[in-house]
Chains A and B, each alone.
Chain A
Amino acid sequence: MKNEPERTHLETGVLIVGSGGAGMSAAIAAHDAGADVMLLDRSLIGRGGATVMAQMTVAAAMGEEVPDDWRNHFADTLKAGRGLCDQRLAAMLCEDAPAVIRQMDEWRVGWARHADGRLRQTEAPGHDRPRCVYVDFLNTGPAISRTLRAQVQRRSQIVRIGELCIADLVVADGVVCGAAGFSVTDGRTVTIAARAVIVATGGLTRLYWRNSASANMGGDGYALALRAGAELIDMEFVQFFPIGHLAPRLIGMDPIMWDPFRYKLGGHLLNAQGHEFIGDYDLIESGRYRATRDVATYAILKEIEAGRGSPAGGVYLSFQHVPEETLREAFGPVIDRLAANGIDLTRQSVEVAPMAHYHMGGIRVSPSMETRIARLFAAGEAVGGANGANRLSGNAIPEALVFGEHAGRAAALCARGERAQAWRDAAASNVRSLLDAEPAAEMTENPASLIARLQMLMDKCAGPIRTEAGLKTALAGIAEIKRALGPAPPRAQRPFDAARLDWFDLRNMLLVAESVVRAGLARRESRGAHQREDFPNLDVRLPVNQMVRLETAGLAIDTVASAHCPARSAAQ
């Protein structure tokens, strides 16, 4: 039985792909600037993505604890970025962060406060002073998501559609004119004509087996941008979160939950001999938690490699030196959730290890968040460049909110202009042939297991510590998985077809994984989150950014000595 494929065609002004923090901020800003807005998500609106999972803190120079200035935050951001930050984007992030934090406060997000009403700001690693606001307990991301969602809903003209997976952007004459994909709910093909498109799909942590993010962070937006003709920047810099939870098995909690408690209480990182080892690696901790994420990750992996790791393959994190009442005060109800998992911090350590957490690289944009493809914008973690070779902790949420707002305004301006690229069916014919395809044969490979294979490969060969041989093994493995995946999806249109969704996801993941690996091979030095065993030193001649683009023959890399490097302190 052969059915005619079903298709729905929609039209909008500003099309936003992804409804996390960046997408929702962009939707609000574009709407308030007078544009028609359509907000899509491959999952349910405002539930997937990374924002809702952020249990952590948000950096902004509010000066509520001690005097501060955005230029101090900027200086710390550049320092963490190891000379590679796009200073225009980094400055925008830091300068606008206080305003978006105030805006969220007006929208009643519930920032933690002192009795006298001042916001509580905690000192996170890499910051020169207490700068990071938060919502108790471990509730920062959910509170931000809920607040933005309420604001989006209040703007009833914003069209929201969940479970719509975009397979490709549609470009005619070098200008984006919309997108095409499928409804996960019923499988039908959906084409959308848009006057401007914002990619707000977040990062790529799903490329790694050990990761701290949600299942839909497979780098979709990077692949969409590449195939549309846009460039990516800094793809070799994947941030690993040093102390992701490993054991005992902990459910109902984000694996990165330990960090804020480490700031507050100074948890000890110990190797199998009970030695606190971070100080052996170039940094003196002096009882406080100071090491930036790339350094901590490196130190932990080196301890494990030297055979001084824990049974589950990590190191120990211990709060046993902290009095029980202090633990209770700092952890609040989290203590009870830990108890439900059989964990008593007064009596035991937990095992932690680095896991993929965030991507510094991403879509290359101008300060108006526009790519080199006209009418195509990006926002949030999907954008590359602001954080250079290593992101300062607390910068992800301000990046989502600030870049979302800028992209929303710029796209609205573009969509409200008189001219636009008209939708052209012919420009969508390649992706339509995938979306409308009848499968040629029975599914021979399990796409879910191919995804797991890619994740294991990336963990092993393209993790925080790299070698040329390992990266070449990764490239060969990626090519093999690509062959196994085949040229067309395994199924025709059906309601909630998990295998078909995996096929489209893996198509993107393979392209993005290859971008990470090729950029990693090309950068023959160690810098920030990219550590090469075979090139262990930072090369002072290499404060350059690498751009990845997709040519007919495959991925190509250009090296650009960025005008925005090297980093210099802008603080007074």
Chain B
Amino acid sequence: MNPVATLLIRRGQKGEEPSWSRFDVAYQPGQSVLDGLRRIRIETDPDLAFRYSCINANACKECLMLLDGKVVYACTARLEPREMRLEPLANKSHIRDLVTEIAAPDERLTRLARPAG
């Protein structure tokens, strides 16, 4: 049997009771946790939400999340052939799944937003 990485991911949006999803992804040495998350969206669950822009370069600094309780960049944390627990950042306002509000306060729509007719 080929080795698998099992990603246990906290799900749900702000204000909802969180749930957990478990995904097995084929493990290849050297891959990142972000590689695994992107594969899950393509193969299994396109609703899984996480932030990233640069994919590989650790340039955008958007893919911050908790791996087994520790803050990591998903693009530089290695995927491992074991159960890995992923959660959103604990000290930021939660949006959905692994996404938290990390935008600078003065760069958010809510700063300007007024409902329109």
Which residues from chain A sit less than 8 Å from chain B, CB to CB? 6-10, 43-45, 47-49, 52-53, 55, 141-142, 159-164, 183, 185-186, 188, 190-191, 214-216, 248-255, 341-342, 443, 446-449, 451-452, 494-499, 502
Query: Does B101 reach chain A (CB closer than 8 Å)?
Result: yes
CB pair B46–A6 under 8 Å, yes or no, is: no
A43 to B97 CA separation, bound complex (whole angstroms):
17
CB pair A496–B54 under 8 Å, yes or no, is: no
Which residues from chain B sit less than 8 Å from chain A, CB to CB? 13-14, 28-32, 41-43, 46-50, 52-62, 73, 75-76, 78, 95-97, 99, 101-104, 106-117
A159 to B113 CA separation, bound complex (whole angstroms):
12
Please pick, from B55, B78, B113, the residue contacting A214 in the complex, using a CB distance under 8 A: B55
A44-B46 contact in complex given A252-B75, A496-B95, A496-B96, C-beta closer than 8 Å:
no
CB pair B60–A52 under 8 Å, yes or no, is: yes
A45 to B111 CA separation, bound complex (whole angstroms):
15
Can you offer 16 A-B residue contacts whose CB atoms are under 8 A?
A9-B114, A43-B53, A44-B60, A48-B54, A55-B57, A161-B109, A216-B53, A249-B29, A249-B31, A251-B31, A251-B78, A252-B32, A254-B57, A254-B59, A449-B46, A498-B48
Contacts of B106 in A (CB 8 A): 160
Q: Which 5 A-B pairs have the closest CB atoms?
A: A249-B30, A9-B116, A254-B57, A48-B53, A252-B76
Contacts of B73 in A (CB 8 A): 252
Contacts of B111 in A (CB 8 A): 161
CB pair B49–A497 under 8 Å, yes or no, is: yes
CB pair B62–A164 under 8 Å, yes or no, is: no
Please pick, from A9, A162, A215, A248, the residue contacting B52 in the complex, using a CB distance under 8 A: A215
Looking at B30, B60, B62, B75, which has the most chain A CB atoms within 10 Å of its CB? B60
A255 to B58 CA separation, bound complex (whole angstroms):
11
Please pick, from B47, B59, B62, the residue contacting A498 in the complex, using a CB distance under 8 A: B47
A47-B60 contact in complex given A248-B30, A498-B48, C-beta closer than 8 Å:
yes
A502 to B111 CA separation, bound complex (whole angstroms):
26
Contacts of A254 in B (CB 8 A): 54, 56-57, 59
Task: Report the minimal beta-carbon distance from A67 to chain B, rounded to whole angstroms.
Answer: 35
CB pair A47–B30 under 8 Å, yes or no, is: no
A53 to B62 CA separation, bound complex (whole angstroms):
13
How many A-B residue pairs lie within 8 Å, measured between CB atoms? 149
A47-B62 contact in complex given A9-B116, A52-B54, A448-B42, C-beta closer than 8 Å:
yes
A252-B57 contact in complex given A160-B106, A494-B13, A497-B49, C-beta closer than 8 Å:
yes
Task: Report the minimal beta-carbon distance from B84 to chain A, rounded to whole angstroms.
Answer: 15
A249 to B31 CA separation, bound complex (whole angstroms):
7
Contacts of A47 in B (CB 8 A): 53, 60-62
Contacts of A55 in B (CB 8 A): 57
A533 to B72 CA separation, bound complex (whole angstroms):
46
A447 to B110 CA separation, bound complex (whole angstroms):
28
Please pick, from B50, B52, B56, the residue contacting A255 in the complex, using a CB distance under 8 A: B56
CB pair B49–A449 under 8 Å, yes or no, is: no
Task: Report the minimal beta-carbon distance from B107 to chain A, rounded to whole angstroms.
Answer: 5
Contacts of B78 in A (CB 8 A): 251
Contacts of A190 in B (CB 8 A): 109
What residue of chain B has the Cβ atom nearest to residue A138's Cβ? B57
CB pair B46–A448 under 8 Å, yes or no, is: yes
A142 to B53 CA separation, bound complex (whole angstroms):
14
What residue of chain B has the Cβ atom nearest to residue A141's Cβ? B59
CB pair A52–B59 under 8 Å, yes or no, is: yes
CB pair B42–A446 under 8 Å, yes or no, is: yes
CB pair A161–B43 under 8 Å, yes or no, is: no
Contacts of A497 in B (CB 8 A): 47, 49, 96
Task: Report the minimal beta-carbon distance from A491 to chain B, rounded to whole angstroms.
Answer: 9
A400 to B41 CA separation, bound complex (whole angstroms):
32
Contacts of A448 in B (CB 8 A): 41-42, 46
A60 to B78 CA separation, bound complex (whole angstroms):
39
What residue of chain A has the Cβ atom nearest to residue B112's Cβ? A10
Contacts of B56 in A (CB 8 A): 250-255
Besides the known contacts A48-B60, A214-B53, A498-B46, 13 further A-B residue pairs in the complex with CB atoms under 8 A apart: A43-B60, A44-B103, A185-B109, A214-B55, A215-B55, A216-B53, A249-B28, A249-B30, A251-B31, A254-B59, A496-B97, A497-B96, A499-B47
Looking at A163, A449, A502, which has the most chain B CB atoms within 10 Å of its CB? A163
CB pair A162–B30 under 8 Å, yes or no, is: no
Please pick, from B46, B102, B109, the residue contacting A8 in the complex, using a CB distance under 8 A: B109
Please pick, from A8, A9, A53, A498, the residue contacting B49 in the complex, using a CB distance under 8 A: A498
